Amino acid sequence: MYKKDQTLRRAIALTLGTTTIGAFPQASAQSPAPVGALEEIVVTARKRGEELLQNTPLSIRALTSDTLQDAGIQQFEDWARMVPGITFKDLGPGEKTIVTRGLVSTGAATTAVYFDETNITAFNDGEGGGRNVDIKLFDIDRVDVLRGPQGTIYGASALGGVIRIETAKPDLNEFSGAIKADIGYTASGAENYSFNGHVNIPIIEDVLGLRLVAWNVDNSGFIDNIRLGRNEINDEQTSGFRAIARYVPSDRLTLTASATVQNQEIGDGVRYNRVGDAALVYPGEQPFSITGDLQNSDFTVNERSDDPRIYSLTADYDFKYGNIVATTNLYDREVEFNFDSTPILLFFGVPIKAISSFPEEREIWSNEIRFNSSFDGPLQVLAGVFHQEEKIDSASRVFTVDNDGLINEPSPSVLWVVRDREFDETAVFGEVSFDVTSQWNLTVGARYAEFDFVTDEEALVPFFGPPTGPEPTKTGSDSTDILRFNTSYQISDDHMVYATASEGFRRGGLNLNAFGALFDIPETFGSDSLWNYEIGAKTSWFDRRLTVNATLYRLDWSDIQVETVDELGGIEYFANAGEAQVDGVELEVFARPISGLDITATLGWTRAELTEDPPPPSNGLDGDEINNVPEWTASLSAQYTWPVFSDFDGFVRADMDYTDGSNTRIAGSRDPFNVALESYELVNLRAGIENESWRITAYADNVFDEITQNDAINEVTNILAYFTTQPRTIGVNAEYRF
């Protein structure tokens, strides 16, 4: 306990210490762009055109292309710990559940994710929207993180917030590009290789341009399977390509078309068992135990493939009274992952070595037309229409495996369940903004949405008797309307305060039950919703060399989508029950105390508690903390840049992240299968030189080789297993820009 408290105090001290006023020179005369001021960031995530980040009256963090490059960020996990209010459940690449402001439960996702205009929000109802796709963040202009409900303009699953990834768009005037190569080494693993590059081609100056991006990543694994004698099993090979074309036939019209494809192959999961734990024993085997760190004893080879495709076409038309944006987008993702199902069969007394295979194809076709005004006068309007069609074709298959953990060929299915699901949404939304004075603004927003659901299921080889054949087609519908109220006051050019009351919602759906003839469970469950109340301040000081942004919020969450169980058959299904309250603080500090030195510090505090007893199988009680929500998170980054020789600058950078401990079960110590995850700190270091053409960097990630506990699985059918971050990785990369 003392060590944890000491670590927490150190993290808070590091974070708050950067706000020491004495470290900064006194303010000089006001000017539009003072020498040495922090760069102003432009964001577009509110769908109201370009806005200065410091002028947007909501809690938003924007990670620019410079930040992504300086911190060596390639994927979600690399940046998520730098943003207060964002945590995640991590089961490996492509298997993350994003948690914004402590909102996590089974059901649909609670955080929406967009890739430009394309909705790529995850769907894995058993994990509360887990299985977020890991698109590599190469040639990205910005990652915007909007915290708090954004349902009025982003719809379902923006319950806790929105993550919007903005790609770099073609420059219509200048030919340019870059190539970058990286080689590294991971402790407990082996070598890593990465290559990426882009080229920008102005085909017709000021009219037509093309931007092409490609990448290839080959990362070593670091988990060993001691039962099968396989080392570094969780290796990763990822390759991808993106093409973006921009056509500007007139000063008023801009057309943008893009295609992003990626293929990811993962050798196995990142689960590891504790040293000393006894492995499960198959009949006839000799007992053995886990003997080292980062080892597991799975019976099977659990490979995973992930192939996302993103296609988008957007038209932006400017005219006297504003602009109209029309966009159509297709997100298609094919995933197949495997999981060792031998332990559950052994638990039920079935001595079969088997693997569960879960192939899935998910397709989202989303369309939106919106108008954003630029009227003369105090009144502005944002209004739009949204339509989305989503299809999920999935199967659950169980196959026998040989002693090497590979599927027997040919292998009859022990179980095969096929499911086809459709979700359609149609919505209208809008916001009205009114400047009461030149400093005081009032905004009201609303959204009305209707949903239709269709599910077809078939159990081809069920455990219970002969094949049941297809279940009757199930249909359902739902609707919702939500509101948002915001007021902001610009005290001065550098100081703004705001207050928001907003609703968020998460769509309902149909319960899966391929054995409907045997078990009677409710066919549908409804949407859940919440009210969010927050106050915030955005402030700049000392000629904009210090920025301090803070938000205080409270969420009242009702009709939470929870997993319950049929009393007769033990079949799990979803229902609406229970309530929760989340209180929190988000603090961000950006500072440039002297020329060349940039410091960023964040602090997040979240307390998420039930305010009503949920139904079985949960054994949570009123007052219990929601699982997998660390109370404290903090980060500190510092980078110093200085002239070295000729036209080269040198730079050094350090990043530290702190994540508090949490429980994996909502009942905490009352639940025998709860795992109390330990707090941890991660430290990354980077140093290098660069000029206009070259950037060469040496780095060390996870410097102290922390074996973190990001999440855990502990069940009656399996031994305790943890999920962890990549161990210490050192390397060097070189980038050439032209």
Q: Lowest mean pLDDT: which of 29-43, 607-621, 676-690, 705-719?
A: 29-43
- Whether the per-residue pLDDT at 144 is higher than 90: the answer is yes
To the nearest whole number, what is the mean pLDDT of the chain? 89
- For the stretch 698-726, pLDDT in tens is 999 999 999 999 999 898 888 899 999 99
pLDDT in tens, 447-485: 999 999 998 888 765 444 555 567 788 888 889 999 999
Q: What pLDDT is attached to residue 30? A: 41
- The CB-based long-range contact list for 179-184 (8 Å cut-off, 24+ gap) reads 179/735, 179/736, 180/733, 180/734, 180/735, 180/736, 181/733, 181/734, 182/731, 182/732, 182/733, 183/731, 183/732, 183/733, 184/699, 184/729, 184/730, 184/731, 184/732
Residues 6+ apart with CB under 8 A from 729: 184, 185, 186, 187, 192, 700, 701, 702
Instruction: Answer yes or no: is pLDDT of 412 > 60.
Output: yes
- Span 585-599, mean pLDDT? 97
pLDDT single digits (tens) 50-89: 999 999 999 999 999 999 999 999 998 899 999 999 998 8
Which among 621, 628, 618, 585 has a CA at the least distance from the CA of 603?
Answer: 585
Q: Is the pLDDT score of 209 beyond 70?
A: yes
- 91 DSSP assignment: -
pTM of the model: 0.91
| Structural element, H or E, at residue 573 | strand 572-576
Strands 111-115 and 118-119: antiparallel
Cβ count within 10 A of residue 54:
19
Say yes or no to pLDDT of 501 above 80.
yes
Which range is least confidently modeled, 381-385, 508-512, 588-592, 646-650?
508-512
Q: Which of 461-475, 601-615, 657-671 has the lowest mean pLDDT?
A: 461-475
- Rounded distance, CA 194 to CA 701, Å? 15
pLDDT exceeding 90 applies to what percent of the chain? 71
pLDDT band, residue 33 (cuts 50/70/90): low
Backbone angles phi, psi at 263, to 5 degrees: -125, 125
DSSP string, 485-547: EEEEEEEETTEEEEEEEEEEEE--EE---TTTTT----SEE--EEEEEEEEEEEEEETTTTEE
**Percent share of the chain, pLDDT over 70:** 91
Q: What pLDDT, on the 0 to 100 scale, is given for residue 523? A: 78
Highest mean pLDDT among 204-218, 617-631, 717-731: 204-218
Summarize pLDDT for 96-130 with one digit per residue, the tens: 889 999 998 887 889 999 999 999 998 876 665 57
pLDDT value, residue 384 = 97
- The Cβ-side half-sphere exposure at 229, using a 13 Å CA radius, reads 2
Locate the domains of the chain by residue range. 2-560+568-737
pLDDT tens digits for 539-557? 999 999 999 999 999 999 9
Tell me, what's the pLDDT at 122?
Answer: 87
Give the homologous superfamily in CATH for domain 2-560+568-737: TonB-dependent receptor, beta-barrel domain (2.40.170.20)
Q: How does pLDDT run across 231-264, given as a tens digit for each residue? A: 999 999 999 999 999 999 999 999 999 999 999 9
Strand partners, 309: 261, 332
Which pLDDT score is estimated for 92? 77
The string over 179-211, giving b where at least 16 C-beta atoms fall within 10 Å of a residue's C-beta and e elsewhere, is ebebebebebbeebebbbbbbbbbeeeeebbbb
